Amino acid sequence: MSADINRFICSGRLSSSPDLKKVIKGDKETVTCKFNLAVNGIYSKQASFFQVTCFNKQAEFVAKYLQKGRRIMLEGALQQSRYKDENGKYCSNVGIIAQTIMACDSKHEENEIQDTAAYVSSSMDISGLEGADFYLENPNA
């Protein structure tokens, strides 16, 4: 029996500011960051919007260096969530659990990273409850 593959790669722009939160379960603290990503269509000008979730050091990186309007490249896994709305109707949403995030443009503001290909890659399992590695590369260094 072969394993299923759940891999999603896209580029787009943050359509919301990153929302950083700390979640404590028992004696374990997990840092989460959520933001919306607008991805332009291939054959139409209509964008698709996805909620992206990242964890721990990756979440801290996103909250510190990325803001609404920044272009990123993202690799992750799709995750479906199901819920009941206030009217009792069942709803479904597909979001992305980020595994790698790469900033694709430079932000020319004081105290910001300039002309940088910055990315953060996660070594955590998809549940995001394990650790993450933080990578920041500056080709001008």
- Taking only the tens place, the pLDDT of each residue in 1-16 is 678 999 999 999 999 9
Question: Is 70 inside any structural domain?
Answer: yes
Instruction: Work out how many domains the chain is built from and give that number.
Output: 1
Q: What is the CATH number of the domain that holds 66?
A: 2.40.50.140
Alpha-carbon separation of residue 127 from 96, 97, 103, 104, 117 (angstroms): 12, 8, 23, 26, 27
Alpha-carbon separation of residue 48 from 36, 38, 95 (angstroms): 10, 6, 11
Can you spell out the DSSP letters for 30-79?
A: EEEEEEEEEEE-SSSSPEEEEEEEEEHHHHHHHHHH--TT-EEEEEEEEE
- Taking only the tens place, the pLDDT of each residue in 21-74 is 999 999 999 999 999 999 998 888 899 999 999 999 999 999 999 999 999 999
Lowest mean pLDDT of 17-31, 81-95, 117-131, name the range.
Answer: 117-131
Question: Is 66 inside any structural domain?
Answer: yes
Which residues constitute the domain of residue 69? 8-121
